[in-house]
Amino acid sequence: MTGRGENLNNSNREGNEDRENRKRHEQSADKTSGSRENDRIDDQVDGDEHDQIDTYRLMEAVDAALHASEEIAQYTGKPRPYPADLMGSALQPDMLAPFTYHEIEEASKFLLRMGEVSPSVRERKSTI
């Protein structure tokens, strides 16, 4: 008689273990799903929002910054300006609006290292 009761208990225990395993797997999958929004939220929760920018977001900022700089260069007939210098100016292209100053500053630093844009006006003023 105890055999049937033990089977039910074992079955319930195995069912509970299966549910727990599935739950852990789903939670693990959620954390590693690659969701850009979750990555940004995690970055902001883990530390100061200025510590890290999600890689995908940074590449979007680099793309927008380069296009904005090129657009202004064509408009003014001068070399491509440092994109962060455009932020908040009358010449700021709309494509920079979705980004924070920090994101465009980091994108600008990258583009400067690549030789794609001119140094910041602030840097040039401080060396004079």
Q: Percent of the chain beyond pLDDT 90? A: 53
* pLDDT at residue 29 in the model: 47
Structure confidence by residue, pLDDT tens digits, 54-108: 999 999 999 999 999 999 999 999 999 999 999 999 999 999 999 999 999 999 9
What is the rounded CA–CA span in Å between residue 114 and residue 38?
A: 30
Per-residue pLDDT, 18: 59
